[in-house]
Amino acid sequence: MFSAAREGVPENAVRPSFISTFGMATTQASKLGLGVNKSVVCMYAKYQIVHISKLPLVVSFIASQDANTGHILSLEDQIDPILLDLNGVMIET
Closest CA to 63 of 18, 9, 4, 23: 9
What is the tens place of the pLDDT at every residue in 7-25? Answer: 777 777 777 777 777 777 7
Residue 69 has pLDDT above 70, yes or no: yes
Q: Whole-model pTM?
A: 0.76
Which domains does the chain possess?
11-92 (3.30.450.30)
